[in-house]
């Protein structure tokens, strides 16, 4: 069955009517709305005239700017058996899910989507494998994938399953793309960054700048590239796909893929941090010089499909997004322990302490690194 045949005719006619691309008078629900991605999506949709409801599980308050724009926040815990997603979503023009990770959640979404005009799900670029079937979750450098220069949406993926984060995300994609009767967009971002993050990788260099560290240690000379995705650019893609609903898979990425060295220099410029760059030799002990973006081989996404099909133009460059993120995180950590603001920065890296300054200083004192 073709995608068009699977979509109710009234939805197709609605999508093709003149002025459909404008959000005025249209309603969206965003699941996981209090996080960095949901906040950015809501902000972009509201600016395009949409009425937006953010469904959130916890008590995390929305930024005041969203409330001023008329965004509503409602409690919703999808793990609660009494939670009725269908009731929340029915009649809305758009349902965006930022937190769909498992088969039961995908099935829940599938049932609720019958009453909406268009469904968008945030997936991950981690579903991609290379020609040998290697995944991004390799534990040894020699097992890390060797991707093409730019990864397209046609790149092979992990099998759908329940074993790993990537296979579960691929299962979510498959369930929705194969079974949904309304248009579904799957977005595959990489290293997401933006204000209100609980996992702002840029903190790796921001904290060093705030602490006025005299050196920055860089494994592999900081040449590593792991594609970044600003939440503002994710929001723009959600807005564009909502103007032209159909079954599709799109990469979501910034217009550039900065290297670790370029990221460190961008942070230093914005925070006026004068420091010396120390490229480390291959035999330097881990985790010295490692960063949240450090990977053995480059990971760079192509957004040509979004440009061709939707006229996608990124809402911002990496450095533009970085300025807003730094302003937010500096304010957020001014009177709070950074671990409270960025809890996933301590939980996502298997206990690695990226801020072990004592070990860094000892290494530099004892080594012949110049």
Residue 176, class by beta-carbon neighbours within 10 Å (0-12 exposed, 13-18 middle, 19+ buried)?
A: buried
Entry field: residues in the chain: 370
pLDDT at 14 exceeding the cut of 90: no
Q: Which CATH number applies to 15-356: 2.40.50.100, 3.40.50.12280, 3.20.20.140, 3.40.50.720?
A: 3.40.50.720
Average pLDDT over residues 214-233: 97
Q: Read off the pLDDT of residues 281-294 as tens digits, 9 standing for 90 and up.
A: 888 888 999 999 99
Which structure tokens are listed for 52?
């937006």
Q: Where are the alpha helices (DSSP H) in 281-317?
A: 304-310
What is the CB neighbour count within 10 angstroms for residue 301?
25
pLDDT at 370: 55
Q: Position of tokens 């979503």?
A: 89
The pairing of beta strand 276-280 with beta strand 51-56: unpaired
Q: Read off the pLDDT of residues 105-145 as tens digits, 9 standing for 90 and up.
A: 999 999 999 899 999 999 999 999 999 999 999 888 899 99
Where are the domains positioned within the chain? 15-356
Percent of the chain with pLDDT over 90: 79
Residue 186, class by beta-carbon neighbours within 10 Å (0-12 exposed, 13-18 middle, 19+ buried)?
A: buried
The more confident residue out of 330 and 57 is 330
Distances (CA, A) of 92 to 18, 29, 53, 112, 181: 19, 7, 10, 11, 15
pTM equals 0.91
Cα dihedral sign for 180, 185, 191, 192?
negative
């Amino acid at each position: 069955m073709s995608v068009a045949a699977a979509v109710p005719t009234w939805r197709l006619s609605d999508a093709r009517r003149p002025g459909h691309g404008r959000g005025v008078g249209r309603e969206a629900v965003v699941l996981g709305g209090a996080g960095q991605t949901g906040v950015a999506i809501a902000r972009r949709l509201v600016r395009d005239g949409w009425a937006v409801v953010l469904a959130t599980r916890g008590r995390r308050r929305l930024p005041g700017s969203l409330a001023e724009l008329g965004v509503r926040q409602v409690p919703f815990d999808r793990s609660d058996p009494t939670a009725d997603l269908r009731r929340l979503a029915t009649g809305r023009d758009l349902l965006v899910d930022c937190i769909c990770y498992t088969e039961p959640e995908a099935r829940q979404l599938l049932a609720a989507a019958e009453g909406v005009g268009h469904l968008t799900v945030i997936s991950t670029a981690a579903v991609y494998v290379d020609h040998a079937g290697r995944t991004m979750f390799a534990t040894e450098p020699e097992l890390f994938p060797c991707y093409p220069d730019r990864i397209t949406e046609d790149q092979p993926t992990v099998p759908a399953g329940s074993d790993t984060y990537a296979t579960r995300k691929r299962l979510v994609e498959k369930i929705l793309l194969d079974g949904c009767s309304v248009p579904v967009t799957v977005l595959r971002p990489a290293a997401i960054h933006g204000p209100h993050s609980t996992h702002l990788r840029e903190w790796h260099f921001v904290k060093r700048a705030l602490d006025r560290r005299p050196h920055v240690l860089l494994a592999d000379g900081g040449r590593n590239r792991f594609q970044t995705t600003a939440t503002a650019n994710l929001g723009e893609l959600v807005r564009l796909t909502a103007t032209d609903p159909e079954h599709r898979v799109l990469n979501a990425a910034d217009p550039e893929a900065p290297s670790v060295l370029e990221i460190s220099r961008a942070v230093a410029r914005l925070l006026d941090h004068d420091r010396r760059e120390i490229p480390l030799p291959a035999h330097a002990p881990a985790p010295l010089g490692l960063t949240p973006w450090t990977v053995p081989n480059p990971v760079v996404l192509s957004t040509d499909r979004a440009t061709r099909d939707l006229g996608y133009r990124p809402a911002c460059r990496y450095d533009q997004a970085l300025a807003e993120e730094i302003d937010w995180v500096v304010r957020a950590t001014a009177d709070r322990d950074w671990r409270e603001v960025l809890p996933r920065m301590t939980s996502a890296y298997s206990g690695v302490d990226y801020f072990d300054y004592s070990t860094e200083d000892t290494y530099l004192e004892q080594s012949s690194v110049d």
